[in-house]
Copies of this chain bind each other. A is one copy, B any other.
Amino acid sequence: MEEDKHSLKERKVITIGIVSELTGLTVRQIRYYEERKLIFPERSNQGSRKFSFSDVETLMEIANKIEEGVQTHEIRREMAKKKKGVTEKEVRNRMLKGQIRAQFGDPKM
């Protein structure tokens, strides 16, 4: 199934320095979590990482787990499980938008 490459949340446009500011994590940590396959930034032509708001959100969740003492290893497993729930939420959300469109015409959301 296709990811939504176009919602603002999913677009990979934020550089690592800004992600660092936004999350409070060091760039070292962010790179390390990528290495551990917890996040998947895209790369620009020259190889610099580009993150989405969604990635930023994920990183904040990761930061919490880490503080709780959970290992990346375990976080990775939990995230795999959660994937299903997320997909369901997306479907629900799409349905919701359908309803809105039906009621109000096409409000460019």
Contacts and interface: CB of A to CB of B under 8 A. Distances in A.
A18 B96 contact: no
Contacts of A107: 92-93, 96
Interface residues of A, number: 18
A75 interface: no
A13 B8 contact: no
Contacts of A53: 8, 11
A50 B21 CA distance: 13
Given A8-B8, A15-B15, A18-B44, 15 more contacts: A8-B9, A8-B53, A11-B53, A13-B13, A13-B14, A13-B18, A14-B14, A15-B18, A17-B44, A18-B50, A92-B107, A93-B107, A96-B100, A96-B104, A100-B100
